[in-house]
Amino acid sequence: MKWIRRTVDSVKPNFGKGGRFEKFHYLFDAFETFLFVPGTTTSHGVHIRDAMDLKRTMMTVIIALVPTLLFGMWNVGFQHYRAYGMEVSLLDNFLFGFWKVLPIIIVSYAAGLGVEFVFAVLRKHPVSEGYLVTGLLIPLIVPVTIPLWMVALGAIFCTLLGKEIFGGTGMNFMNPALLARAFLFFAFPAYMSGEIWTDLSQEPGRAVVDAYSGATNLAIFDENFLEMDSARDMFLGTIQGSIGETSTLACLIGALILIVTGVGSWRIVLTVFAGGYLMGLFMNVLAPADVPLHAMHTPAYYHLIMGGFAFGAVYMATDPVTATHTQTGKYIYGLLIGAFTVVLRVFNPAYPEGMMLSILFMNVLAPLIDHLVIQQHIKKRMSRA
């Protein structure tokens, strides 16, 4: 470790004030603080500090994403070989997916961090850690067949217009990763919907089996929800969908990590699921009895394991910057996300992924919810006086 420190120290003056590369100070700073937690000590106020910082926070989210990432990689291979009617080992499934997903991750990080670095140099502010998570979230919520240039475009778009123009991590009001997906979804619908969920690259001497259908459950359920995959498959995630979103189980493991470490808000995770379930039940009650296959008849718990519901609830809705900031507000925010998602899915088949849209919608409403909660708080405080 010593020699790393020595190397860093020897090049450091070049990036300091008056150094040759003074312009790139914050870029250097980003790499230095990545390698070393700085030796800065407390100067005002408290003399000791909690060991947790934003890097650690983001790292915890990444760890929580690992189950969905690993499962997603495996599932990419599994869906591919299933389409060709082949049975291969767990490792082969995984490796197929690994080599498909890895480039998407690399492009996502490279493009997004590139924008962050350019802004750090131009705007003279430190590189924030927020993109560490966004960069991994984007690959997990796109189909594996996505062209790499689209990944780059989405990453650049969300970092630029979703975050940096507002002042960087902590100042943005919409979840950057979801913004990237929404942008790609509306700009390039041909690549983001339809039968694009399984990688169908050629297998020598094989043809896609007749039974293969590229439609996801979200597309099927509007026609006839009885033809969807089994609840067990949907829960485990052996279904088609975006890379990381299919497995509810993997998302729940991630949720456990986030909640135990205190990084994710249990209030939000719980209420999103509750909101979705309650709205599902409500739909069942209102469903027209004479149309037995109407989407409103879908069992309520199906909504929770379908599509990106669990992924959105655990990793997207809990983004502390874009969620409501007040504790009471989090309950309202979560409930509404869950409820809106089900409403969108049932009544608006043009946008099968209701989760993405309702989280973005609630991101916009979050400040309003906070405002109302704060006004209520003030009213209560005043009535005491």
The residues binding other proteins (CB under 8 A) are 1, 4-5, 33, 35-57, 59-60, 126, 128-130, 167-171, 260-263, 265, 267, 320-321, 323, 325-327, 330, 374, 377-378, 380-382, 384-385
From the CB of 188, what's the least distance to other proteins, in Å? 31
Q: How far is 108 from 111, CA to CA, in rounded Å?
A: 5
Q: How far is 330 from 324, CA to CA, in rounded Å?
A: 6
Asked if 27 and 120 touch (Cβ cutoff 8 Å), the reply is yes
Asked if 237 and 248 touch (Cβ cutoff 8 Å), the reply is yes
From the CB of 260, what's the least distance to other proteins, in Å? 6
Asked if 222 and 349 touch (Cβ cutoff 8 Å), the reply is yes
Which residue, 46, 25, 49, is CA-closest to 37? Answer: 49
Q: How far is 223 from 216, CA to CA, in rounded Å?
A: 12
Nearer to other proteins by Cβ, of 38 and 205: the residue is 38
From the CB of 143, what's the least distance to other proteins, in Å? 30
From the CB of 171, what's the least distance to other proteins, in Å? 6
Let me know the angle formed at the C-alpha of 178 by 296 and 342, rounded to the nearest 5 degrees: 10
Half-sphere exposure of 100 (CA within 13 A, CB side): 32
Nearer to other proteins by Cβ, of 101 and 366: the residue is 366
Q: How far is 111 from 158, CA to CA, in rounded Å?
A: 10
From the CB of 52, what's the least distance to other proteins, in Å? 5
Residue 219: partners with Cβ closer than 8 Å, 6 or more residues away:
352
Nearer to other proteins by Cβ, of 100 and 267: the residue is 267
Report the residue count for the chain.
385
Nearer to other proteins by Cβ, of 57 and 298: the residue is 57
Q: How far is 318 from 296, CA to CA, in rounded Å?
A: 28
Nearer to other proteins by Cβ, of 126 and 299: the residue is 126
Nearer to other proteins by Cβ, of 43 and 89: the residue is 43
From the CB of 154, what's the least distance to other proteins, in Å? 22
Q: How far is 288 from 286, CA to CA, in rounded Å?
A: 6
From the CB of 208, what's the least distance to other proteins, in Å? 44
Nearer to other proteins by Cβ, of 52 and 291: the residue is 52
